[in-house]
Structure 1
Amino acid sequence: MAMTKPSSLSAAFLLLLLLLLVMMMIATAFASTTTPACNPTQLTPCAGPVLFGGPVSPACCVALDAQRACLCGYARSPNYGSYVRSPNAARLFAVCRIPLPRCR
């Protein structure tokens, strides 16, 4: 039975460890790009149009689109639900050409 030199064994271990680290970094980067971070404060550009019915800015539409996957959660929230379901919010969705969320 042939023994491997300690230096080649440790080099193989380091290579394997490096490969695992790179795979974990790629998986983390992929997960962060596919899962939106739900943060209602990112919708502050939409506060004026929802509360007062003012003009809808492009920044509001971008923020609304970025938070689209979170809207049903906001609609169920006692803090934000009335804003998401308001007539002004419906106008906002229409102006931004984003479908109204259909929450279950």
Structure 2
Amino acid sequence: MKASWVAILTIIAVILMSESNEMAMVEAVTCNPMQMSPCISAIISSTPPSKLCCAKIKEQKPCLCDYLKNPSLRNFVDSPNARKVANDCGTPFPTC
């Protein structure tokens, strides 16, 4: 099961590498979904988020609406666990 999540996230990372350069030019913050990688275990296994995860969510908050528009990321970013992790970090999702 964990191996399939790793495979899915690897595929998403490859897809997003080409898109992240475009997003970085548009946003004041460097939008890079790979920056959210410290949160993967908290989102997938519902473990408490680390301090690094919370810092990355706060840093990437201006990018979350763009991530939600991306079909490759939407199910991961908009999952109930992802929203719980963001709330646990004190960074509720923006209204897009």
TM-score, scaled to structure 1: 0.63
Structure 1 unaligned runs (5+)? 1-33
1:100 maps to amino acid = F
SS at match of 1:67: helix
Deviation at 1:91, TM superposition (A): 0.8
Q: Is residue 87 of structure 1 aligned with residue 83 of structure 2?
A: no
Structure 2 unaligned runs (5+)? 1-26
How big is the alpha-carbon RMSD for the aligned residues of Structure 1 and Structure 2? 1.7
- Aligned pairs for 1:28-43 (under 5 A) are 35-43=28-36
- Write the deviation string for residues 10-64 of structure 1: whole angstroms up to 9, x where unpaired: xxxxxxxxxxxxxxxxxxxxxxxx9101000011001111122112100000001
Please name the residue that 1:101 is paired with.
94
The runs of at least 4 consecutive aligned structure 1 residues that moved more than 4 Å come to: none
Deviation at 1:70, TM superposition (A): 0.4
Deviation at 1:93, TM superposition (A): 1.4
CA distance in 1, matches of 2:35, 2:81: 18
- Do 2:29 and 2:62's aligned partners in 1 also have CA atoms closer than 8 Å? yes
CA distance in 1, matches of 2:42, 2:94: 18
- Aligned pairs for 1:1-104 (under 5 A) are 35-103=28-96
1:91 maps to amino acid = K
1:99 maps to amino acid = P
TM-score, scaled to structure 2: 0.68
Q: Structure 1 vs Structure 2: percent identity of aligned residues?
A: 36
CA distance in 1, matches of 2:45, 2:65: 22
Q: How many residue pairs were aligned?
A: 71
